[in-house]
């Protein structure tokens, strides 16, 4: 047993089944996952939990993923947290917008495989560790 804290990840996704799937996949890898089903609760969770990573769905009612992302980047306490976008929007223009214009850390298209999710999470966390 190590005394290292598990890496905390907040998953903001309006589909509870997707949150459950993400939790199942990432908990097996030793991550702690906190799920919220809307953007406002997601921002509150980020503030409270101070996660090392955020998984963010783009298409949500109420407050969409881009609004959450902008709110994070405008907040001193959150702007350093890496973001992986999870989305059903597979169009390449969205990927270009996400990766190059908004500067999200990675972009996963639903449906995704467990290994794709784990690889992306590890890659982004490694990059964040290397740059801090």
Q: How far is CA 42 from CA 1, 17, 115, in A?
A: 30, 16, 24
User: Domain extents for the chain?
Assistant: 8-131
- The token pair at 109 is 């298209």
Sign of CA dihedral 123, 13, 115, 21: positive
Cα maximum dimension of the chain: 45
Q: Which CATH class is domain 8-131?
A: alpha beta
> pLDDT tens for residues 85-115?
887 766 555 555 655 566 788 888 888 999 9
Sign of CA dihedral 46, 40, 62, 68: negative
> pLDDT tens for residues 72-87?
999 999 999 999 988 7
The residue-averaged pLDDT of 62-72 equals: 91
């Amino acid at each position: 047993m190590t005394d290292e804290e598990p890496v905390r990840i907040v998953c903001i996704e309006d589909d509870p089944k997707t949150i459950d799937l993400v939790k199942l996949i990432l908990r097996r890898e030793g991550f702690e996952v906190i799920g919220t089903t809307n953007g406002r609760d997601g921002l509150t969770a980020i503030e409270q939990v101070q996660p090392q990573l955020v998984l963010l769905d783009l298409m949500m009612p109420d407050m969409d993923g881009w609004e959450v992302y902008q709110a994070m980047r405008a907040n001193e306490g959150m702007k350093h947290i890496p973001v992986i976008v999870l989305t059903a929007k597979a169009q390449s223009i969205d990927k270009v917008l996400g990766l190059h214009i908004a500067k999200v850390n990675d972009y996963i298209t639903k449906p995704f495989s467990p290994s794709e999710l784990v690889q992306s999470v590890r890659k982004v966390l490694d990059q964040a560790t290397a740059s801090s």
